[in-house]
Amino acid sequence: MAPRKQKVPSMAQSTAPPESPRACVIGAGLGGLALAIRLQAAGVPTVLIEARAEPGGMIRTWQQDGFTFHAGPAAIADPAPLRELWSLTGEDLADRLALVEVAPAWRCSWPDGSVLDLPADPAQLARLAPDDLAGYEEFLEWCAASRGDGWQRPAESPGGDLVTALQSLPAVLRHKGWRSAAGLAASLVRSDRLREALTVPLLGAGGNPRSAPALQLLGQLPPALGPAWWPLGGMGALVDALAQRFVALGGELRLHDPVVRIETVGNRATAVECASGWRSAVTQVASNADVVHTWRDLLGGAGFGAERARKLMARRFSPSAFTVHFALEGTWPGIPHRSILFGPRYAGLLDDVFTHGVLPQDQLILLAHPSLTDPELAPPGKSVFSATVPVANLTKLPIDWEVVGPVLQKRVLAEIGRRLVPDISDRIVTAFHTTPRDLALDFNAWAGAAWSLEAIPTQSGPLRPHQRDGKLANLTLVGAGTHPGAGVAAVLASAKGAAALMLENAK
């Protein structure tokens, strides 16, 4: 179970009179924060409302006994969109937050002890996949050639509608964007392990490497396959910086007050109401909250809301995540910032998690060791880790996580012990876990899905819920459930697109 003590950022919550109409962003996840900053920086008075006591959404922080634990992304693949966002506020991000290199960006290791660091260590690559040196180079070339017009531009374009899709069609054809990530890797390299290593980052965005479009991989890979990045103080420090910047710009941040209703008149959202009874007229509304929650619970009274939610619930949602947070005695310079501990199976395990709704006996562990990069996250001589295992969501695997959680925690720690820290049980200072049930209850995430709708071709681009809804002229969606999808890069791109739509409306 998670520790009770939560980190609550110190920030003034401004108190503009509730009558003054303004734009409202529901949910202060990364997508909501980025959108609210863009609106406020452009001169649109904005209120950002968060259900929880702290902003950040799935990027979550706990502090306990001198340790800072993190849930969510273990590194940022590309800091450029964050820098661009910050520059809109008239400041340089570097003046507020230090981003440090994480290299290798990730280490892959297999049960037989073989290892590959990425960006590829030439000696390791030659040992692991001697026939694939040219194929690896081709993979890098494909990434470099496709990143701009195959991923970034369409991702940042507002809407993800048919017009956008048609505009990006030439790039999709040029980069063979219809292929899955696994299909792309299979066409370039022969080694199964190298294929696994190149496609596994998609799991960070909730995509199945076997079925998610290859272009989606680009959001998860550092540009030119260089290092990844970590904000000193942790991802929580990044969230705090964003929230404080929004307030400093004059935005109103309401924490710990869930929106319970979006009021509508005709084809317009007119007001939002919170659990506390606080209510405000709004000119425009954006929802960063889960898409099913938005339609079913916040717009359920509008008639069409329930119908939309029913259709959404019939679609394929991403897996969930089971995470063990733990602190160890000792420091572990040999364990990199981010590792992937593959199990004996890859394709079969992905099928179990994404398709069959089975809790596998074997494991694929995404292991983060942030205190390696950022020693202040743990007391001297100690270390902090998180180990995430993708698991089927609650609709596919309706098990009692209160019972299964402690068992799975033991299994995950035992596997890390076998592979990396032989005397782990003697070294554990503290450990707790979060389950799909926590994601559902803490964030209103439908089915406890950690990445909202799954990234499959039939739920991507124009087939993903659009950012601008057809029913309500002034409702915009932002974040993982809408265009272009989940993950840090996609959610930041989504905020850029949403802001463009809302600023156009505000003219």
- Alpha-carbon distance of 413 to 255, in angstroms, equals 35
* Tokens, residue 232: 């000193």
Contacts to ligand FAD from residues 65-94, by CB under 6 A? 71-74
Q: First and final CA of the chain: distance in angstroms?
A: 48
Task: Report d(CA 28, CA 453) in Å as an integer.
Answer: 19
Is the distance from CB of 284 to CB of 51 less than 8 angstroms? no
User: Smallest distance, Å, CB 59 to ligand FAD?
Assistant: 5
**Least CB distance from residue 71 to ligand FAD, whole Å?**
5
Which of 81, 104, 158, 487 is the binder for ligand FAD (CB under 6 A)? 487
Residue among 229 and 451 whose Cβ is closer to ligand FAD: 451
Task: Assess contact for 283 and 506: CB atoms under 8 A.
Answer: yes
Residue 147 neighbours by CB under 8 Å, 6+ apart: 218, 223
Kindly report the backbone phi and psi dihedral angles of residue 176, in degrees, each rounded to the nearest multiple of 5, phi listed first.
50, 50
Residue the block writes with tokens 């964030």:
443
Interaction of residue 312 with ligand FAD, rule CB under 6 A? no
Q: How far apart are CA 476 and CA 467, in angstroms?
A: 5
Of 321, 384, 475, 501, the one binding ligand FAD (CB under 6 A) is 321
Q: Which is nearer to ligand FAD, 273 or 307 (CB)?
A: 273
Residues between 191 and 220 with contacts to ligand FAD, criterion CB under 6 A: 204-205
Please select the residue that binds ligand FAD; options are 102, 171, 447, 480, rule is CB under 6 A. Answer: 480
# residues near ligand FAD by CB under 6 A: 38
- For ligand FAD, which residue of 31, 236, 461, 484 counts as binding (CB under 6 A)? 31
- Which DSSP category does 453 fall into? B
Q: Mark 449-468 with x for binding to ligand FAD (rule: CB under 6 A) and - for no binding.
A: -xx-----------------
* Beta carbon of residue 23, minimum distance to ligand FAD (angstroms, whole number): 15
CA dihedral 430→435→437→443, nearest 10 degrees, is 80
> Tokens 């099928």 map to which residue?
351
C-alpha atoms less than 13 angstroms from C-alpha of 350 in its C-beta half-sphere: 16
Q: According to CB under 6 A, which one of 2, 38, 47, 50 is a site residue for ligand FAD? A: 50
Exactly one of 24, 25, 27, 175 binds ligand FAD (CB under 6 A); that residue is 27
Shortest reach from residue 321's CB to ligand FAD, in Å: 4
CB of 127 to ligand FAD, least distance (A): 27
CB-nearer residue toward ligand FAD: 188 or 483 = 483
Q: Report residue 145 as tokens.
A: 């050639």
Question: How buried is residue 98: exposed, middle or buried, by Cβ count under 10 Å (0-12/13-18/19+)?
Answer: middle
The three-state DSSP-derived secondary structure of 162-176 is: HHHHHHHHHHHHHCC
Taking the complex as a whole, how short is the minimal distance between the CB of residue 32 and ligand FAD, in angstroms? Answer: 6
- Decide: is 305 part of the binding site for ligand FAD (CB under 6 A): no
User: Distance between CA atoms of 272 and 49, rounded to whole angstroms?
Assistant: 10
Closest to ligand FAD by CB, 129 vs 416, is 416
Which one of 109, 164, 388, 474 is in contact with ligand FAD (CB under 6 A)? 388
| Exposure letters 446-456 (e unless 16+ CB within 10 A, then b) | bbbbbbbbbbb
Residues 244-283 that bind ligand FAD (CB under 6 A): 258-259
- Is 41 near ligand FAD (CB under 6 A)? no
| DSSP label at residue 29 | B
Of 86-94, 226-234, 397-405, 478-486, the window that binds ligand FAD (rule: CB under 6 A) is 478-486
CB 415 within 8 A of CB 364: no
- Answer for which of 51, 309, 353, 421 binds ligand FAD (CB under 6 A) is 51
What is the smallest separation between the CB atom of 30 and ligand FAD, expressed in angstroms?
4
Q: Residues 338-374, buried b or exposed e (16+ Cβ, 10 A)?
A: bbbbbbeebeebbbbbbeebebbeebbbbbbbbbbbb
- 336 touches ligand FAD (CB under 6 A): no
Instruction: Assess 104 for contact with ligand FAD (CB under 6 A).
Output: no
* Interaction between residue 302 and ligand FAD (CB under 6 A): no
Strands (E), 435-474: none
Instruction: Based on the shown chain and the rule CB under 6 A, indicate whether residue 486 belongs to the binding site for ligand FAD.
Output: yes
Segment 7-26, which members bind ligand FAD (CB under 6 A)?
Answer: 26
Longest dimension (CA), the chain: 67
Which residue in the set 49, 108, 243, 499 belongs to the binding site for ligand FAD (CB under 6 A)? 49
Does 409 sit near ligand FAD (CB under 6 A)?
no
**The two structure tokens encoding residue 196:** 């696994």
In angstroms, give the least distance from the CB of 380 to ligand FAD: 28
Residue 394 interacts with ligand FAD (CB under 6 A): yes or no = no
Q: What is the DSSP string of 206-248?
A: T--TTTSBGGGGGGGSPGGG--EEEETT-HHHHHHHHHHHHHH
The residue ranges that bind ligand FAD (CB under 6 A) are 26-32, 49-52, 57-59, 71-74, 204-205, 258-259, 288-289, 293, 321, 323, 388, 443-444, 450-451, 479-480, 486-488, 491
